[in-house]
Amino acid sequence: MTSRLAWFTSSYSGSEGGDCVEVAHAPGAVHVRDSKDPAGPALAFTGEAWTAFVAFVADSAATPVE
């Protein structure tokens, strides 16, 4: 099923490759995979879990490391 999803990378991803993930939205789930291995495994999260994860990452990025 994941091969029929419309995958996209973040607008923050650089054009030179590297460590990126791709995300695809589907009814009831958000799928995530490694952009360097599109045929590899993908994770699926509920919309609520994905929203909580993104909020956590955004908050962590805004917190200075001492």
22 and 35 Cβ atoms separated by less than 8 Å: yes
Total-model pTM = 0.75
Residue in 8, 58, 1 with CA at minimum distance from that of residue 33? 8
DSSP, residue by residue, 4-57: GS--EE-TTS-TT--S-EEEEEETTEEEEEETT-TTS-EEEE-HHHHHHHHHHH
Predicted pLDDT of residue 57 = 86
Confidence of residue 48 (pLDDT cuts 50, 70, 90): very high
CB atoms within 10 A of CB 42: 20
Confidence of residue 31 (pLDDT cuts 50, 70, 90): very high
Confidence of residue 65 (pLDDT cuts 50, 70, 90): low
